[in-house]
């Protein structure tokens, strides 16, 4: 690599360094985070041999932002280097532990000069996949926000309002159920719940979408709310009720965001040509399939082998050896979003695929714990997905989980 460029990213400005093949600094510049700064960067690169046919590769510590998007749109290779790796490389040049933005830019440029083959450039994904990734990650964040909001509300209600928790404890969704939120909105305190009438309860559960056994549900809730229970002082209970309404508003907003983003994600995902192959796998619905595609992308040159994809997802084990010591364990450095979706995928595949269920049971019999067996199943199915996407084939249960071929001696026995 003759010339390389490093950019130390900041919020309002960026430090740029260009180095030659011998590590000598050829040019440096501080640019602003706007169109004028981007033009200054292009002029600096052009002064040192940057051309459309042979663009200078760039190393930067982030994979997001307008600067990265414009650099990728210009057709050049952009390497997103982990800040922890940059810190290790910095120690190769300075042992005094001094740090500056300009020096970090030089370190990034030298990383490409010496070890470019050890780092992977950002994938050349299509705009459709990039849009799916934005929506899928936002929806996943909304799910996590909804879980946090639910846990905060539930923890608050335990302090003064156990009746509402017991009333909906049999519901699979708990307080996330629309009926629970509708009832809590009209009765945020035990005192108000005890004053509810059957007609108000019927109206609340009907607004929540219930169509069957409305009267029976209203009677059940009325009986639960009128039982004698421990209570907070009246003034304290009223104040806690106001806090409940505030927490409930946050939960309602998180639930709406989850539903809206899920609908938009699924609609966009179904437009991608890989959607048919991905959803042909057992346990992969439209939304989980969109999350998988968002993380692996549609650049087939990104992972040279299935092993690289498995390592990226964290499903492949990692081996640590030193002398006579050898230890095999699961990976901690991975794509956390892909790993979380993989657990859901493997769990759903247990009931959707006899082969997946048999594979899981074999791993359990082998001594794996629950999560280890799920991770092993995800690892196998991820390799199958890599093959199907590369060869443009749909999932086939008989091929994916074919019985092992026995040797003639074993067959005779």
Under DSSP, the state recorded for 11 is S
| pLDDT at position 408 | 57
Q: At what angle do helices 354-366 and 370-391 cross, to 10 degrees?
A: 140
Query: Residue 9 forms beta bridges with which residues?
Result: 14
- Do the beta carbons of residue 275 and residue 269 sit within 8 Å? yes
pTM: 0.85
Nearest to 1 by CA among 66, 102, 77, 85: 77
Task: Specify the residue for token string 């404890």.
Answer: 169
Q: What's the pLDDT tens digit per position in 19-43?
A: 998 888 999 999 998 899 999 999 9
Confidence of residue 173 (pLDDT cuts 50, 70, 90): confident
| pLDDT at position 411 | 46
Q: What's the pLDDT tens digit per position in 279-316?
A: 999 999 999 999 999 999 999 888 989 999 999 999 98
Calpha distance 344→235 (Å, rounded): 45
- Name the strand (E) or helix (H) holding 151: helix 127-157
Half-sphere exposure of 256 (CA within 13 A, CB side): 7
Calpha distance 160→279 (Å, rounded): 45
| pLDDT at position 404 | 63
Query: Residue 389 forms beta bridges with which residues?
Result: none
Tell me which of 61-75, 131-145, 263-277, 393-407 is least confident.
393-407
| pLDDT at position 410 | 47
Q: Percentage helix, strand, coil, to 5, in the chain?
A: 60, 10, 30
pLDDT at residue 397 greater than cutoff 70: yes
SS3 281: coil
Q: What is the mean pLDDT of residues 229-238?
A: 92
Q: What's the pLDDT tens digit per position in 106-132?
A: 999 999 988 888 888 999 899 999 999
Question: Which tokens belong to 147?
Answer: 């879980």
């Amino acid at each position: 690599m003759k010339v390389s460029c490093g950019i130390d990213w900041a919020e309002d400005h960026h430090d740029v360094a260009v180095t030659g093949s011998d590590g000598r600094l050829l040019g440096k510049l501080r640019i602003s985070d706007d169109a004028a700064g981007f033009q200054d960067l292009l002029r600096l690169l052009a002064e040192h041999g940057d051309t459309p046919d042979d663009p200078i590769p760039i190393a930067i510590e982030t994979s997001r932002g307008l600067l990265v998007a414009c650099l990728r749109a210009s057709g050049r290779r952009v390497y997103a280097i982990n800040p922890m790796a940059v810190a290790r490389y910095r120690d190769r040049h300075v042992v005094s532990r001094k740090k500056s933005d300009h020096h970090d830019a030089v370190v990034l440029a030298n990383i490409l000069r010496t070890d470019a083959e050890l780092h992977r450039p950002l994938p050349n994904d299509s705009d459709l996949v990039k849009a799916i990734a934005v929506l899928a990650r936002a929806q996943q964040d909304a799910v996590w926000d909804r879980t946090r909001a639910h846990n905060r509300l539930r923890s608050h209600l335990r302090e003064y309002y156990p009746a509402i928790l017991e009333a909906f404890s049999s519901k699979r969704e708990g307080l996330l159920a629309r009926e629970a939120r509708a009832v809590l909105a009209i009765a945020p305190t035990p005192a108000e719940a005890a004053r509810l009438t059957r007609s108000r309860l019927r109206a609340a559960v009907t607004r929540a979408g219930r169509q069957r056994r409305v009267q029976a549900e209203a009677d059940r809730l009325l009986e639960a709310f009128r039982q004698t229970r421990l209570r907070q002082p009246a003034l304290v209970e009223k104040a806690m009720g106001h806090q409940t309404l505030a927490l409930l508003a946050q939960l309602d907003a998180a639930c709406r965001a989850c539903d809206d983003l899920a609908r938009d994600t699924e609609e966009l995902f179904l437009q991608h040509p890989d959607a048919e192959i991905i959803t042909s796998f057992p346990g992969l619905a439209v939304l989980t399939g969109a999350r998988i595609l968002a993380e692996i992308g549609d650049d087939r040159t990104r992972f040279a082998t299935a092993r690289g994809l498995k390592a990226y997802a964290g499903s492949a084990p990692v081996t640590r050896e030193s002398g006579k010591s050898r230890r095999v364990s699961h990976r901690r450095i991975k794509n956390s979003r892909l790993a979380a979706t993989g657990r859901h995928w493997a769990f759903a595949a247990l009931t959707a695929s006899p082969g997946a269920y048999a594979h899981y049971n074999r791993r359990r019999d082998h001594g794996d714990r629950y999560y280890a067996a799920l991770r092993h199943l995800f690892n196998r199915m991820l390799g199958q997905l890599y093959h199907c996407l590369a060869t443009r084939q749909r999932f086939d249960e008989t091929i994916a989980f074919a019985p092992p071929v026995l040797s003639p001696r074993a067959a005779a026995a």
